[in-house]
Chain A
Amino acid sequence: MASPGDEGSRPNGPNGSLGSFSERNKREHSNPEIISALYEELFGEEDCERPCYLPDHREEDSRDAEQDGTVAREDKEKGGGDGEVEGESKKVKGTSAELAGSQMSNELDAGDFQEDLGARSETGHDDGIQDRDQEISLRNGASAEASFTERSVAVDGEFSSDRGLDALPSPTSSQGGTSGYMAGSGSSSASTSSISGIEAANEQDTEGTGSRKEERGARVPGKRHTEEDDSHPSWRRHKKHFFILSNAGKPIYSRYGDEHKLAGFSATLQAIMSFVENSGDTVHLVRAGDHQIVFLVRGPLYLVCISSTDEPSEVLRGQLELLHGQLILILTKAVEKCFLKNSKFDMRPLLGGMDVVLSSLIHAFSWEPATFLKAYTCLPLPYGARQAACGALQDMTDSGALFSVLMCGNKVISLVGSRKTSLHPHDLLLLSNFISSSDSFRTSESFSPVCLPRYNSAAFMYAYVQYLNKDTCLILLTADPNDFFHLKECRAQIEIVLRESNVLREVNNSIERGGLRIEDMPGSEVGPSESGSTRGDRASDDGASTSAPEAVPGAGGPAGLWHFIYRSTYLDQFIASEFSPPFTTRSAQKRLYRAYQKLHASMHNAGGGGPHKMQYRRDEDHVLLSWRTSDFELYAAFDPLAEKNSAIFVCNRICQWIRDMEAEVFLLGATPFNW
Chain B
Amino acid sequence: MEERVQVCLFDMSRGQVEGQELDKILFFFPSNCPIPSQLSVVGLSEGLITFTRIFSPLTPCELMEAERHTHIFYQCEPDLWIVMVVEKVKDAEETIREGALRTVLKDAHNLFTFFYGSIRALLESHPRGDVARSCLHAFFPDYLSDFLTGKKFRIPTISESLTNRGTVQLFIPQRETLLEIQSLQEHLKSWFGGGKVRHVMTLFYNMLISTTLSPADASVLFLYATVRMLPSTHSRAPRSRSSSRRENPPGDPSNTLGFGKLRNLFTNLTTSQTAESMASPQTPRAYDLSVDDQGSKSSVPRPLQPEAWWKDADGFLCTYAWGSETGRVKVLPNVRLQGSEETLNLCVYQCKSVTLVMLVPKSGGSELISNLQQQLLEKAALRIQKIEEKLVKEWPGSNAYHVAGYRYLYSDLNNKVSKFSPANKVATLSMDSLAALNRIRAEIDLEMGRSERSSSLQDKELELCVRTKQNAWVIVTTRGGHELYTVQEKASNTLMYACDAVDKLSRRYFNGIFSSD
Contacts and interface: CB of A to CB of B under 8 A. Distances in A.
Q: Which of B48, B66, B437, B462 has the most CB of A within 10 A?
A: B66
A3 B290 CA distance: 70
A272 B468 contact: no
A576 interface: no
A71 interface: no
A154 to B, nearest CB: 35
Given A607-B435, A644-B496, A648-B496, A615 B443 contact: no
B453 interface: yes
Interface in B337-351: none
B90 interface: no
Interface in A56-103: none
> Which of B95, B158, B496 has the most chain A CB within a 10 Å cutoff?
B496
A288 B468 contact: no
B289 interface: no
A614 B474 CA distance: 10
Nearest to A608: B435
Nearest to A269: B51
Most buried by A among B158, B463, B492, B494: B494
A289 B384 CA distance: 48
Interface residues of B, number: 61
Interface string B79-106: 0000000000000100100000000000
Interface string A273-288: 0011001111111111
B253 to A, nearest CB: 29
A230 B43 CA distance: 22
Interface in B402-443: 432-440, 443
Contacts of B435: 607-609
A615 B64 contact: no
B176 interface: no
A613 B63 contact: no
A215 interface: no
Contacts of A534: 494, 496
Contact of A289 (B56, B67, B463): B56
Contacts of B59: 288-290
Interface string A601-638: 01001011111111111111000000000000000000
Nearest to B69: A281
A625 to B, nearest CB: 9
A291 interface: yes
A293 interface: yes
Contact of A645 (B43, B69, B496): B496
Interface string A506-549: 00000000000000000000000000001101101011110100
Contacts of B55: 236, 288, 291, 306, 308
Given A534-B496, A602-B443, A615 B63 contact: no
B78 to A, nearest CB: 16
B48 A272 contact: yes
B272 interface: no
Given A281-B68, A537-B494, A619-B462, A290 B450 contact: yes
Contacts of B494: 534, 537-538, 540, 543-545
A545 B68 CA distance: 43
A275 B60 CA distance: 19
B499 interface: yes
A543 B69 contact: no
B62 interface: yes
B262 interface: no
B180 interface: no
B255 interface: no
Contacts of A158: none
A480 interface: no
Nearest to B472: A609
A279 B473 CA distance: 41
Nearest to B97: A608
Contacts of A281: 66-69
Contacts of B44: 272, 275-276
B466 A612 contact: yes
Contacts of B499: 616, 644
B439 A542 contact: no
A617 B464 contact: yes
A306 B95 CA distance: 26
A280 B48 CA distance: 18
Given A280-B68, A610-B468, A648 B495 contact: yes
Interface in A536-573: 537-538, 540, 542-545, 547
Contacts of B432: 608-610
Place the interface of chain A in its size category: 35 or more
B467 A614 contact: yes
B61 A544 contact: no
A276 B40 CA distance: 10
Contacts of A619: 460-463
A268 interface: yes
B280 interface: no
A230 B463 CA distance: 40
A289 B75 CA distance: 12
A310 interface: yes
Given A230-B54, A280-B68, A287-B61, A615 B466 contact: yes
Nearest to A283: B66
Contact of B64 (A283, A602, A611, A648): A283
Contacts of A306: 55
Contacts, number: 172
Contacts of B440: 602
B419 to A, nearest CB: 24
Contact of B496 (A236, A535, A615): A535
Contact of B51 (A272, A282, A544, A608): A272
Interface string B43-59: 11001100111111011
A282 B62 CA distance: 18
A271 interface: yes
A291 B52 contact: yes
Interface string B326-370: 000000000000000000000000000000000000000000000
A538 B501 CA distance: 14
A538 B497 contact: yes
B60, B67, B69 — most chain A CB neighbours (10 Å): B67
Contacts of A544: 494-495
Nearest to A605: B439
B148 interface: no
Scoring A268, A289, A610 by chain B CB atoms within 10 A of each residue's CB, the highest score goes to A289
Given A285-B64, A289-B62, A619-B460, A612 B56 contact: no
Given A286-B61, A644-B499, A615 B464 contact: yes
B469 A611 contact: yes
Contacts of A611: 469
Contact of A607 (B40, B43, B69, B439): B439
A265 to B, nearest CB: 8
B394 interface: no
A619 B462 CA distance: 5
Given A286-B65, A609-B470, 15 more contacts: A230-B54, A236-B54, A286-B51, A288-B59, A289-B60, A538-B497, A545-B496, A605-B439, A607-B439, A608-B438, A609-B432, A609-B436, A609-B439, A614-B467, A644-B499
25 contacts: A272-B51, A281-B66, A282-B66, A283-B65, A286-B51, A287-B62, A288-B59, A288-B62, A289-B60, A538-B494, A543-B467, A608-B95, A608-B439, A609-B434, A609-B439, A609-B468, A610-B470, A612-B468, A615-B467, A617-B462, A619-B462, A619-B463, A644-B496, A644-B499, A648-B496
Interface of B: 40, 43-44, 47-48, 51-56, 58-69, 92, 95, 158, 432-440, 443, 450, 453, 458, 460-471, 473, 492-500
Interface of A: 230, 236, 268, 271-272, 275-276, 279-291, 293, 306, 308, 310, 313, 534-535, 537-538, 540, 542-545, 547, 602, 605, 607-620, 644-645, 648
Instruction: Give 7 nearest A-B pairs by CB, closest first.
Output: A608-B435, A609-B436, A289-B59, A288-B52, A614-B467, A610-B469, A609-B435
